[in-house]
């Protein structure tokens, strides 16, 4: 085995619910609530409907229920559909470091396997805490996108550990599950280049599906490739060019209680995370300037935002899909200046002439001091010059939901209630929240059952 495989498998096997700090337990509950909020907001979205229809053809006597339904499908397929729901609106949590990640994508594995296995709430909490610990540490250790690979390759490692814990795999089985996941399933970053397709919201779900599949095979004794991370043709050499910092794994190697979930961020708006502070800066400017008074807009940002959601892709200047619009800092800023806080329903108006016209008045550039603050802060500075020559500037460093600007439990509940209201009756909303805030005394099957529409 290699060092990474050994460290992760030992950590997963040794970390139990009674070792998890109370604030981490509470945060895991919050992330499940947040994930279900954004998932049911996407219940009727076209990619979700298509994925659910494909999965329904595999219905059988054993498996996991797809969120909102009663039929059971293989757990890997259920995790895929649930994952597409969680990810579709780009509204679930985020972590930014050498590599960005949406760590709650892995909660789809806990939902599906937890339902299929009847896992108790304490097991669910422990599995998610461990998964976050691994995936976030990997984001601190290396950059996948620098070499053209997708961040979901790190996500799947966390999803393997979620799955391994729920399946009760021992260290050796977990090592094989990691190998079966890591070697065959490398995802390319082409998913996020140019005009974005439905697959942008499905890549993470597929990574989690592959992780569940790998863990199910390993549970039966199936073995995986030797030295998947550090081998001659393994993950580090092939995907990272040999560039990997082991120091972020130090807490895992010493089997410290999981805490990294506390470093991740909940989203207040359904836009790519690098633009969250741009929305808040635009909202402040909106109080000072009317859209029809705007002569030009300058967005100053950090390099990661410039590269991922900035002006280099022509499609970002002229979006035709929801997936492209929510990854365009120009579209997002224009929409916020015109309409206020970005809502899911705004993506029905991607081609609005007022938004497209305002975008033509924009320039985007990297500011050295903002780039130097990243990733500890995620600053965007927007300057509006009016037709009369007046100049207004607003800068926001930490969006609502960041650990330095936290979202309260009541604010999180409000997000859940607002996003699920079109799909879930009030009594289901209340029962789901009751079960999740008391998850250590509930089970995942009870939660999934409560959510049947």
List, for residues 7-48, the tens digit of each pLDDT value: 999 999 999 999 999 999 999 999 999 999 999 999 999 999
Rg of the chain taking only CA atoms, in angstroms: 21
Q: CA distances (Å), 318 to each of 275, 301, 354, in order?
A: 17, 20, 13
Average pLDDT over every residue of 168-196: 95
In this prediction, residue 1 carries a pLDDT of 79
> pLDDT over 70 for what percent of the chain?
100
pLDDT of the residue at 65: 98
The predicted-structure confidence for 381-428, as pLDDT tens digits, reads as follows 999 999 999 999 999 999 999 999 999 999 999 999 999 999 999 999
Q: Which pTM was predicted? A: 0.95
Angstrom distance (rounded) from CA 138 to CA 151: 10
Q: What is the signed CA dihedral for 230, 231, 236, 238, rounded to 10 degrees?
A: 180
Residue 193 has pLDDT above 90, yes or no: no
268, two tokens:
């207040």
Alpha carbon separation from 12 to 59, 72, 214, 409 (Å, rounded): 31, 27, 15, 28
Region 238-248 average pLDDT: 98
Between the CA of residue 99 and those of 7, 48, 151, 277, what are the distances in Å?
20, 27, 7, 19
The proportion of the chain whose per-residue pLDDT surpasses 90, expressed as a percent, equals 98
Which string of DSSP letters, residue by residue, matches 81-146? HHHHHHHTTS-S-BB-SSS-B-GGGGHHHHHHHHHHHT-BHHHHHHHHHHHHHHHHHHHHH--SGG
pLDDT of residue 94: 96
H or E element at residue 437: helix 426-437
Identify the pLDDT of residue 88: 94
Question: For residue 190, what pLDDT band results from cuts at 50, 70 and 90?
Answer: very high
Reply yes or no on whether the pLDDT at 448 is more than 90.
yes
pLDDT of residue 133: 98
On average, the pLDDT of the chain sits at 97
Strands 362-366 and 72-73: unpaired
Segment 157-170 mean pLDDT: 98
- Let me know how many helices (H) and strands (E) the chain has, helices first: 20, 6
Rounded average pLDDT over 264-280 = 97
Q: Beta-carbon neighbour count of residue 46 at 10 Å? A: 11
Whether 276 shows a pLDDT value over 90: the answer reads yes
Q: Can you give the pLDDT at residue 201?
A: 92
Check whether 285 has a pLDDT greater than 90. yes
Say which residue, 196 or 287, is predicted with more confidence: 287
Q: Which residue has the tokens 């795999």?
A: 169
CATH 3.30.1330.120 domain extents, the chain: 273-396
pLDDT digits (tens, 9 = 90+) for 212-228: 999 999 999 999 999 99
Residue ranges matching CATH 1.10.4100.10 in the chain: 3-268+409-450
Confidence (pLDDT) at 423: 97
In this model, does residue 194 exceed pLDDT 90? no
Give pLDDT, residue 50: 98
Give one word for 241, left, alpha or beta, with left for phi > 0 and alpha for psi -120 to 50: left
Q: Which pLDDT does position 196 carry in this prediction? A: 82
Query: Would you say domain 273-396 falls under CATH 3.30.1330.120?
Result: yes
CATH architecture under which domain 3-268+409-450 falls: Orthogonal Bundle (1.10)
Q: Are 302 and 100 in contact (CB under 8 A)?
A: no
């Amino acid at each position: 085995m290699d060092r990474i495989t050994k460290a992760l498998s030992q950590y997963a096997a040794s970390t139990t619910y009674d070792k998890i700090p109370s604030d981490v337990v509470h945060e895991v509950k919050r992330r499940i609530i947040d994930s279900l909020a954004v998932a049911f907001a996407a219940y009727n979205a076209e990619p979700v409907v298509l994925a659910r229809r494909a999965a329904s053809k595999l219905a059988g006597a054993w498996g996991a229920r797809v969120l909102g339904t009663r039929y059971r499908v293989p757990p890997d397929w259920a995790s895929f559909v649930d994952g597409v729901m969680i990810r579709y609106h780009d509204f679930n949590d985020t972590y930014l470091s050498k590599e960005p990640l949406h760590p709650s994508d892995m909660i789809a594995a806990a939902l599906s396997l937890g339902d299929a296995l009847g896992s108790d709430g304490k097991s669910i909490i422990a599995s998610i805490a461990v998964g976050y610990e691994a995936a976030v540490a990997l984001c601190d250790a290396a950059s996948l996108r620098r070499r053209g690979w997708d961040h979901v390759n790190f996500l799947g490692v966390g999803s393997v550990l979620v799955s391994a814990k729920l399946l009760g795999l021992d260290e050796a089985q977990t090592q094989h599950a990691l190998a079966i996941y890591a070697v065959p399933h490398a995802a390319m970053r082409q998913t996020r280049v140019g005009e974005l397709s439905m697959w942008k919201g499905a890549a993470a779900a597929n990574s989690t599906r592959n992780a569940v599949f790998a863990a199910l095979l390993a549970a039966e004794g199936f073995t995986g490739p030797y030295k998947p991370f550090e081998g001659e043709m393994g993950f580090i050499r092939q995907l990272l060019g040999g560039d990997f910092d082991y120091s972020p794994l130090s807490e895992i190697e010493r089997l410290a209680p999981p805490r990294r979930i506390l470093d991740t961020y909940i989203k207040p708006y359904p836009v790519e995370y690098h633009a969250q502070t741009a929305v808040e800066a635009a909202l402040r400017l909106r109080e000072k300037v009317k859209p029809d008074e705007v002569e030009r807009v300058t967005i100053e940002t950090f390099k990661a935002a410039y590269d991922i959601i900035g002006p280099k892709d022509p499609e970002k200047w002229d979006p035709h899909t929801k997936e492209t619009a929510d990854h365009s800092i120009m579209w997002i800023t224009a929409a916020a200046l015109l309409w206020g806080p970005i809502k899911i329903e705004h993506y029905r108006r991607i081609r609005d002439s007022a938004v497209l016209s305002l975008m033509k008045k924009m320039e985007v550039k990297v500011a050295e001091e903002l780039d130097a603050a990243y990733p500890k802060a995620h600053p965007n500075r927007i300057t509006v010059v009016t037709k009369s020559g007046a100049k207004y500037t607003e800068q926001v460093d930490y969006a609502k939901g960041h650990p330095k600007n936290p979202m309260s439990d009541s604010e999180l509940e409000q997000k859940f209630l607002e996003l699920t209201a079109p799909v879930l009756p009030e009594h289901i909303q209340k029962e789901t929240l009751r079960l999740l805030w008391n998850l250590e005394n509930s089970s995942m099957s009870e939660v999934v059952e409560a959510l049947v529409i």
